[in-house]
Chain A
């Protein structure tokens, strides 16, 4: 997987939009960008995946600039229940079976009322 860099922590208030940026300067042509969310005492769960431009689902949006060296996870109108750790992974996850999927430290998002 490509090396990624994320902020260690972020704070927000309920109702605000939160943007978490991940840097991945060494992204390869076949790599996808995948974000996971982890609540306390639970395993991470998949949020969103993209290759280029913008991807949106019912939970979040993922913005990827043309050079693909970074990506931004956008959480619209966060609530207290969005308090979690968010991980960015960069690799050819859809196709590479024999891949050591190593998570970084992630970004701890704390949402307050």
Chain B
């Protein structure tokens, strides 16, 4: 049971380059989230998707785009990377309704460095 899988785990980019972080979950969850966490800081919500076909901005969406490709996959794209986007990125998913806690399940994180 893989849970939430993020790729790549590590990436180094130069300023201005673009890249996509991939996230997939195999738990049939309807909601998915992207967070970033800077060193010594808390988690900040970038974008989220309540269900397939919908996406919404979080606290810090500038410089990012997302795609909810299907129920399993939610990707995060940096069109023109900046050093300020150096961070650890976490993807998470959760199920709601039908007697459950609605808890978030997180991936292992993707560590991005922008030079």
Kindly report which residue of chain A lies nearest to residue B96, judged by CB atoms.
Answer: A97
CB pair A103–B30 under 8 Å, yes or no, is no
* Of A20-28, A40-48, A61-69, the one touching chain B: A40-48
CB pair B56–A98 under 8 Å, yes or no, is yes
Q: Of residues 82 to 107 in A, which have CB atoms within 8 Å of B's CB atoms?
A: 85, 87, 92-106
The total of chain A residues at the interface (CB under 8 A) is 27
In the assembled complex, how far is the CB of residue B37 from the closest CB belonging to chain A, in whole angstroms? 9
* 14 A-B pairs with C-beta separation under 8 A: A34-B103, A43-B106, A85-B42, A87-B42, A93-B101, A93-B103, A94-B100, A94-B102, A97-B31, A97-B51, A99-B31, A101-B48, A103-B42, A103-B43
Write the residues of chain B forming the contact surface with A, with a CB cutoff of 8 angstroms.
30-31, 33, 35, 41-45, 48, 50-51, 54, 56, 58-59, 88, 90, 92, 94, 96-97, 99-109
